[in-house]
Amino acid sequence: MLVLTRKKDQSIIINENIEITVLDIQGDQVRIGIKAPREVSVHRKEIFLQISEENRKAASTNVKADLDNLLKNSRFAALKKADGDQGAK
Amino acid sequence: MIDSDEEGSPFKWMQGVDEPKPAFVIVDPFVIRKDYEIRLDDEVLNELEIKSPSDVSVFCIVVVPDDISKMTVNLQAPVVINCANRRGRQLILDTDRYGVRHYILDELRRQEDKADAGADEEKGPVHNHK
Protein backbone atom coordinates (compact mmCIF):
# COMPACT_ATOMS: atom_id res chain seq x y z
CA MET A 1 0.00 0.00 0.00
CA LEU A 2 1.34 3.42 -0.92
CA VAL A 3 1.04 5.71 2.10
CA LEU A 4 0.93 9.48 1.72
CA THR A 5 0.24 12.11 4.32
CA ARG A 6 -2.04 14.99 3.34
CA LYS A 7 -3.32 18.08 5.04
CA LYS A 8 -6.76 19.59 4.60
CA ASP A 9 -7.32 20.73 1.00
CA GLN A 10 -4.41 18.72 -0.32
CA SER A 11 -4.95 16.15 -3.07
CA ILE A 12 -3.70 12.97 -4.62
CA ILE A 13 -3.84 12.20 -8.36
CA ILE A 14 -4.28 8.60 -9.45
CA ASN A 15 -3.82 7.37 -13.01
CA GLU A 16 -3.70 11.00 -14.18
CA ASN A 17 -7.51 11.18 -14.18
CA ILE A 18 -8.64 10.54 -10.63
CA GLU A 19 -8.26 13.13 -7.95
CA ILE A 20 -8.78 12.56 -4.23
CA THR A 21 -8.96 15.60 -2.01
CA VAL A 22 -9.06 15.89 1.77
CA LEU A 23 -11.89 18.39 2.17
CA ASP A 24 -12.26 18.52 5.89
CA ILE A 25 -10.97 16.91 9.05
CA GLN A 26 -13.14 16.83 12.17
CA GLY A 27 -11.93 14.68 15.03
CA ASP A 28 -11.68 11.14 13.72
CA GLN A 29 -13.66 11.84 10.57
CA VAL A 30 -12.20 12.82 7.25
CA ARG A 31 -14.32 14.21 4.46
CA ILE A 32 -12.90 13.04 1.16
CA GLY A 33 -13.77 14.42 -2.27
CA ILE A 34 -13.34 12.24 -5.33
CA LYS A 35 -13.14 13.44 -8.91
CA ALA A 36 -13.18 10.57 -11.34
CA PRO A 37 -14.45 9.74 -14.83
CA ARG A 38 -18.03 8.49 -14.85
CA GLU A 39 -17.01 4.96 -15.74
CA VAL A 40 -14.92 4.64 -12.60
CA SER A 41 -17.01 3.29 -9.74
CA VAL A 42 -16.40 4.62 -6.28
CA HIS A 43 -17.87 3.07 -3.17
CA ARG A 44 -17.33 2.94 0.56
CA LYS A 45 -15.29 -0.18 1.18
CA GLU A 46 -17.64 -1.73 3.72
CA ILE A 47 -20.57 -1.52 1.28
CA PHE A 48 -18.46 -2.98 -1.48
CA LEU A 49 -17.35 -5.84 0.77
CA GLN A 50 -20.90 -6.48 1.96
CA ILE A 51 -22.14 -6.78 -1.60
CA SER A 52 -19.28 -9.03 -2.64
CA GLU A 53 -20.02 -11.24 0.34
CA GLU A 54 -23.74 -11.42 -0.38
CA ASN A 55 -23.03 -12.24 -4.02
CA ARG A 56 -20.66 -14.96 -2.94
CA LYS A 57 -23.26 -16.47 -0.59
CA ALA A 58 -25.93 -16.23 -3.26
CA ALA A 59 -23.72 -18.03 -5.77
CA SER A 60 -23.25 -20.97 -3.45
CA THR A 61 -26.98 -21.52 -3.25
CA ASN A 62 -27.88 -24.98 -4.46
CA VAL A 63 -31.55 -25.28 -3.80
CA LYS A 64 -33.52 -26.11 -6.91
CA ALA A 65 -35.67 -28.68 -5.10
CA ASP A 66 -36.17 -26.39 -2.12
CA LEU A 67 -37.36 -23.46 -4.17
CA ASP A 68 -40.08 -25.62 -5.65
CA ASN A 69 -41.21 -26.42 -2.09
CA LEU A 70 -41.17 -22.76 -1.24
CA LEU A 71 -43.80 -22.13 -3.87
CA LYS A 72 -46.15 -24.61 -2.32
CA ASN A 73 -46.16 -22.47 0.78
CA SER A 74 -49.45 -20.54 0.77
CA ARG A 75 -47.68 -17.28 1.42
CA PHE A 76 -46.17 -17.48 -2.02
CA ALA A 77 -49.49 -18.36 -3.54
CA ALA A 78 -50.46 -14.89 -2.35
CA LEU A 79 -47.37 -13.60 -4.14
CA LYS A 80 -48.65 -14.98 -7.44
CA LYS A 81 -51.78 -12.91 -6.99
CA ALA A 82 -49.76 -9.82 -6.09
CA ASP A 83 -47.60 -10.35 -9.16
CA GLY A 84 -50.66 -10.08 -11.36
CA ASP A 85 -51.54 -6.74 -9.79
CA GLN A 86 -48.08 -5.23 -10.16
CA GLY A 87 -47.25 -2.79 -12.93
CA ALA A 88 -44.07 -3.22 -14.91
CA LYS A 89 -42.03 -1.12 -12.48
CA MET B 1 -29.96 -16.30 -19.37
CA ILE B 2 -32.89 -16.23 -17.02
CA ASP B 3 -35.03 -19.26 -16.38
CA SER B 4 -38.35 -19.28 -14.69
CA ASP B 5 -38.50 -21.98 -12.07
CA GLU B 6 -42.26 -22.40 -12.24
CA GLU B 7 -45.25 -20.72 -13.88
CA GLY B 8 -45.99 -17.39 -12.27
CA SER B 9 -43.11 -17.62 -9.84
CA PRO B 10 -41.51 -14.37 -8.74
CA PHE B 11 -38.26 -16.31 -8.36
CA LYS B 12 -36.01 -16.98 -11.28
CA TRP B 13 -32.55 -18.31 -11.90
CA MET B 14 -29.83 -16.25 -13.44
CA GLN B 15 -26.84 -18.02 -14.88
CA GLY B 16 -24.27 -17.54 -17.58
CA VAL B 17 -24.86 -18.90 -21.05
CA ASP B 18 -21.27 -20.06 -21.31
CA GLU B 19 -20.83 -21.22 -17.73
CA PRO B 20 -23.74 -22.75 -15.80
CA LYS B 21 -22.04 -21.86 -12.51
CA PRO B 22 -22.41 -19.64 -10.69
CA ALA B 23 -26.17 -19.61 -10.75
CA PHE B 24 -28.13 -17.08 -8.75
CA VAL B 25 -31.67 -17.06 -7.49
CA ILE B 26 -33.18 -13.70 -8.33
CA VAL B 27 -36.49 -12.11 -7.55
CA ASP B 28 -38.56 -9.18 -8.69
CA PRO B 29 -37.90 -6.59 -5.95
CA PHE B 30 -41.29 -4.91 -6.44
CA VAL B 31 -42.93 -8.08 -5.17
CA ILE B 32 -40.92 -7.75 -1.95
CA ARG B 33 -41.33 -4.00 -1.59
CA LYS B 34 -44.17 -2.46 -3.54
CA ASP B 35 -42.53 0.93 -3.26
CA TYR B 36 -39.08 -0.22 -4.35
CA GLU B 37 -37.45 2.63 -6.14
CA ILE B 38 -34.23 3.00 -8.08
CA ARG B 39 -32.84 5.83 -10.07
CA LEU B 40 -30.72 5.14 -13.13
CA ASP B 41 -28.18 7.87 -13.75
CA ASP B 42 -26.87 8.85 -17.18
CA GLU B 43 -23.77 6.73 -16.79
CA VAL B 44 -25.84 3.55 -16.42
CA LEU B 45 -28.29 4.56 -19.17
CA ASN B 46 -25.37 5.08 -21.54
CA GLU B 47 -23.48 1.97 -20.55
CA LEU B 48 -26.51 -0.26 -21.07
CA GLU B 49 -27.77 1.82 -24.01
CA ILE B 50 -31.20 2.14 -22.50
CA LYS B 51 -33.62 3.94 -24.79
CA SER B 52 -36.89 3.36 -23.00
CA PRO B 53 -38.05 2.63 -19.43
CA SER B 54 -40.13 -0.27 -20.71
CA ASP B 55 -36.92 -2.03 -21.80
CA VAL B 56 -35.62 -2.12 -18.25
CA SER B 57 -35.89 -5.17 -16.02
CA VAL B 58 -34.78 -5.07 -12.42
CA PHE B 59 -33.94 -8.12 -10.34
CA CYS B 60 -32.41 -8.58 -6.93
CA ILE B 61 -30.19 -11.41 -5.83
CA VAL B 62 -31.46 -13.83 -3.23
CA VAL B 63 -29.42 -15.74 -0.66
CA VAL B 64 -31.10 -18.99 0.35
CA PRO B 65 -29.58 -20.46 3.51
CA ASP B 66 -30.21 -24.01 4.75
CA ASP B 67 -33.19 -22.71 6.67
CA ILE B 68 -35.23 -21.45 3.73
CA SER B 69 -37.46 -19.32 5.92
CA LYS B 70 -34.42 -17.11 6.48
CA MET B 71 -33.93 -16.33 2.80
CA THR B 72 -32.77 -12.79 2.17
CA VAL B 73 -32.70 -10.45 -0.79
CA ASN B 74 -30.12 -7.79 -1.57
CA LEU B 75 -32.12 -4.66 -2.30
CA GLN B 76 -29.07 -2.44 -2.21
CA ALA B 77 -27.39 -3.95 -5.25
CA PRO B 78 -30.03 -4.71 -7.89
CA VAL B 79 -29.25 -6.20 -11.26
CA VAL B 80 -30.52 -3.95 -14.03
CA ILE B 81 -31.03 -5.42 -17.48
CA ASN B 82 -31.85 -3.74 -20.76
CA CYS B 83 -34.12 -6.32 -22.39
CA ALA B 84 -33.67 -4.71 -25.80
CA ASN B 85 -29.98 -5.58 -26.03
CA ARG B 86 -29.61 -8.02 -23.12
CA ARG B 87 -26.96 -5.88 -21.44
CA GLY B 88 -27.02 -5.71 -17.73
CA ARG B 89 -25.04 -4.96 -14.64
CA GLN B 90 -25.27 -4.92 -10.90
CA LEU B 91 -25.72 -1.45 -9.44
CA ILE B 92 -24.79 -0.40 -5.96
CA LEU B 93 -27.47 2.02 -4.79
CA ASP B 94 -26.18 4.97 -2.86
CA THR B 95 -28.97 5.05 -0.32
CA ASP B 96 -29.72 4.25 3.30
CA ARG B 97 -33.18 3.08 2.35
CA TYR B 98 -32.19 -0.46 1.48
CA GLY B 99 -29.68 -2.94 2.78
CA VAL B 100 -27.93 -5.98 1.40
CA ARG B 101 -30.00 -8.36 3.49
CA HIS B 102 -33.77 -8.14 3.77
CA TYR B 103 -35.59 -11.15 5.17
CA ILE B 104 -38.10 -11.98 2.46
CA LEU B 105 -40.69 -13.63 4.67
CA ASP B 106 -40.64 -10.68 7.07
CA GLU B 107 -41.16 -8.26 4.22
CA LEU B 108 -44.08 -10.30 2.90
CA ARG B 109 -45.62 -10.58 6.36
CA ARG B 110 -45.37 -6.82 6.70
CA GLN B 111 -47.21 -6.42 3.41
CA GLU B 112 -49.94 -8.81 4.53
CA ASP B 113 -50.34 -6.92 7.79
CA LYS B 114 -50.67 -3.67 5.89
CA ALA B 115 -53.23 -5.23 3.56
CA ASP B 116 -55.22 -6.60 6.50
CA ALA B 117 -55.22 -3.22 8.21
CA GLY B 118 -56.53 -1.65 5.01
CA ALA B 119 -59.27 -4.24 4.70
CA ASP B 120 -60.48 -3.68 8.27
CA GLU B 121 -60.96 0.01 7.60
CA GLU B 122 -63.21 -0.73 4.66
CA LYS B 123 -65.36 -3.31 6.43
CA GLY B 124 -67.17 -1.20 9.01
CA PRO B 125 -69.88 0.99 7.43
CA VAL B 126 -69.49 3.51 10.26
CA HIS B 127 -65.92 4.25 9.17
CA ASN B 128 -66.63 4.37 5.50
CA HIS B 129 -67.13 8.00 4.60
CA LYS B 130 -66.23 7.54 0.96
Give the contacts of A15 (CB within 8 A, at least 6 positions apart).
Answer: none
- What is the structure's pLDDT at B2? 63
Residue B120 — pLDDT band, cuts 50, 70, 90? low
Kindly list the residues from chain A whose CB atom is less than 8 angstroms away from the CB atom of residue B90.
Answer: 51, 55
- What is the structure's pLDDT at A1? 95
- What is the structure's pLDDT at B117? 75
CB A20 within 8 A of CB A26: no
pLDDT digits (tens, 9 = 90+) for A4-55: 999 999 999 999 999 999 999 999 999 999 999 988 889 999 999 999 999 9
CA–CA distance, A62 with B94 (Å, rounded to integer):
30
Residue of chain B nearest A48, judged by CA positions? B92
Cross-chain Cβ contact A58/B74 below 8 Å: yes
- What is the structure's pLDDT at B49? 94
Give which of A50, A68, A72, A81 to mutate to test B binding, by max B Cβ within 10 Å.
A50
- What is the structure's pLDDT at B1? 56
Note the ipTM here: 0.78
Average pLDDT score, chain B: 83
Is the Cβ of A82 closer than 8 Å to some Cβ of chain B?
Answer: yes
pLDDT greater than 50 at residue A3: yes
The verdict on pTM exceeding 0.95 is no
pLDDT greater than 50 at residue B11: yes
Give the contacts of B8 (CB within 8 A, at least 6 positions apart).
Answer: A80, A83
In B, residues 35-74, which contact A (CB 8 Å cutoff)? 42-43, 47, 53-54, 56, 58, 61-64, 68, 71-72, 74
- What is the structure's pLDDT at A39? 82
CA–CA distance, B44 with B7 (Å, rounded to integer):
31
CA–CA distance, B37 with B62 (Å, rounded to integer):
18
pLDDT digits (tens, 9 = 90+) for B55-83: 999 999 999 888 888 889 999 999 999 99
Q: Mean pLDDT highest for which of A66-70, B81-85, B113-117, B124-128?
A: B81-85
CB atoms within 10 A of CB A21: 17
